[in-house]
Chain A
């Protein structure tokens, strides 16, 4: 059973629209992360959280918000989607900060 799941697995959004990506983990991990991956590149950290009801900015937070309503769930919100936000988004969890990270299957987002 996958310990980190993401929904949707793919999405097409219109420029200016609102997009919410969801992540659920059953690892009982405190830390959760959102990354984006662009073609031919590694992952870059957008937001992370170490406890429910608290989120922190990563390296590239502009244009994104995050929400951690419970230990298991972590959402990434694009209030006004833009073309430059077309990418694959990965959620991950870990037991401690930066410790072994376990990734979800990814969400392919296309903004038109």
Chain B
């Protein structure tokens, strides 16, 4: 099965609302990264996390290694937040790799 499961797979939000995206890990994960792929296909690194919380503007992310999940909160969603959000976990089981989830497609409606 998938080692990194993202939910929801797709989401549509009204501009100005808040939301949370989630990533669950089925194997031991030491660090997490969140990326945004914009509609043109470019990938941007949003967060690199060890267990704990980071905040950047309207975005806030938490990584709970004991319960094997990470969340990305988007506050006051804007049109430019549209795109696909990927989480990736650094896994210690077997080869030390970044394993990506399949992404959450987020559409912000005006």
Interface residues of A (CB under 8 A from B): 40-45, 58-59, 88, 90, 97-103, 105-106, 108
Q: What's the least CB distance linking B35 to chain A, in Å?
A: 8
Whether B58 is near chain A, meaning CB under 8 Å from some CB there, is no
Q: What's the least CB distance linking B8 to chain A, in Å?
A: 14
Query: Chain A residues near B33 (CB, 8 Å)?
Result: 100-101
The CA of A101 and the CA of B35, in the complex, are separated in Å by 10
Query: Chain B residues near A101 (CB, 8 Å)?
Result: 33, 45, 98
With an 8 Å Cβ cutoff, the count of chain B residues facing the other chain is 21
Contact (Cβ within 8 A) A100 B102? no
Contact (Cβ within 8 A) B43 A90? yes
Interface residues of B (CB under 8 A from A): 4, 31, 33, 35, 41-45, 48, 86, 88, 90, 95-98, 100-103
A-B contact count (CB 8 A): 46
The CA of A101 and the CA of B44, in the complex, are separated in Å by 9
Query: Chain A residues near B31 (CB, 8 Å)?
Result: 98
Contact (Cβ within 8 A) B41 A103? no
Contact (Cβ within 8 A) A97 B96? yes
Query: Chain A residues near B103 (CB, 8 Å)?
Result: 41-42
Specify which of B35, B44, B45, B97 is in contact with A59 (CB 8 Å cutoff): B97
The CA of A42 and the CA of B98, in the complex, are separated in Å by 11
Specify which of A59, A97, A103 is in contact with B42 (CB 8 Å cutoff): A103
